[in-house]
Every structure is written in structure tokens, then in C-alpha cells.
Amino acid sequence: MERGPRPRILSAAMIAAATTLVWTSAPAHVLAVQATPSPVSGLSCDVPARTHHEMLALLAESGLATPAATTGGQTLPEGTPAGTGSAAAMERIVRRWLACQNAGEPLRAWSLFSDGYLYRLLSRQAVMSDDAYREMATPTAAAETSTLVEIEGQRILPDGRYGATVVIAYPSVPMPKRFFFYFTKVDGRLLIDGILGEISFSVP
């Protein structure tokens, strides 16, 4: 009996490959940071993982995606300086997210993303099979440990979200890479709401 085409299934390997491609393609000449990376060991990947039920419910939603991360043609988005507490919260979530990335725990890392941002990343996937979920639920520690070099410019954006410039070092990349992280508050909890690669905001 002939079978129809299989639906596309999200896998941890697909996400890892896509993330690596985007993050290592930014132009190195834009970044002139020579700071010593600070270890991520201060915070562990101790957040609950997204459950299979949560992922299926999320993918079944419509119109959930938050606005795409963009600087609107500016080198960096405008905003007003964030308070000390908000700035510290942004650093904590970035460090915890990096810890989950290094531990090979995508489902825990995704718990640090807003539903809208995660939906925008995964909405092209029709289903998430039990096998695909089990694959992502099995920790696969990264061969190379990424480290946070610097987080700066923490600000409150005109749309009410928060933002910060984040510099991350990768052992296999000669120069650290710079990103712009968007954050949003959900039920009083700060979550990552978008990530721009260096090339996206370095050239207006």
C-alpha cells in the first residue's frame, strides 16, 4: 500500500544546525570585544522542560507568534535604560539559557522562550512525534562549551519589551559573536522573546 509523504518532524539536530549556521555567519570585523569570557557555571539548567503535551498544544495554536525580532533599520533598537533588577534578570536568563544549550537540553532551553517566540520558530512543523520528542528530551552535551563574554545596553523598548546586547564566545570561532536579545514579561516572569544575529543589526 502506497503511503503519502511523511510530515516534517522537528529534531534537536535540525535546530542545532540552524542555530550554529546563523550565529557563526556574522561578520567578525564588526565586533571588537576582547574581554575574557565569564563562565556560565554560576547558573545551571534547572528549569522544567517543555512537555510533549505543551509542544503539541503550542503547535496547534494559530496567531500566537510575537512580532519578529527587528531593529526597524536602526543599528540597535532605541529604548530607555533598564533598572538594576531588570538588567540582572536579563543576565540570569541568558546565563541559564546558555547552560541549557551547553547541556544539550533544548526542551529546557525552550522553557526560557516565550510561547510566541517558540511558536514563530516551530510553526512550520506539522507535528511532533513521540520519537522526536524523546530525542530532544535526551541530553546531548555540546562538544564545545559556549560562554557569556558580556551583556550590556539593557533597555526598555518602546513596545514595552526589554532588550540587551549579548556577546558569546564559541571555542571553534576566532572572535566572540554579538547578538541582540529581546525579552518579554509573562505572568511576572522574564522570557526570551527573540534573538537577532550580529549581521541583522550591525548594518542599518
Do 35 and 152 contact (CB within 8 A), yes or no? no
Give the Cα separation of 35 and 24 in Å (integer).
18
Segment (H or E) for 3: none
Domain boundaries of the chain, sorted by first residue: 12-202
pLDDT at position 4: 42
pLDDT at position 33: 33
How many CA atoms, within 13 angstroms, populate the side-chain half-sphere of residue 84?
A: 0
Beta bridge partners of 163: 155, 182
pLDDT at position 123: 74
Sign (positive or negative) of CA dihedral 193, 198, 202, 204: negative
Buried (b) or exposed (e) across 83-92, using 16+ Cβ within 10 A?
eeebbebbbe
pLDDT at position 75: 61
pLDDT at position 69: 60
The whole-number mean pLDDT for each consecutive block of 10 residues of the chain, a chain of 204 residues, reads: 42 42 33 36 83 87 65 70 96 95 92 92 72 82 84 94 94 89 94 83 48
CATH of the domain spanning 12-202? 3.10.450
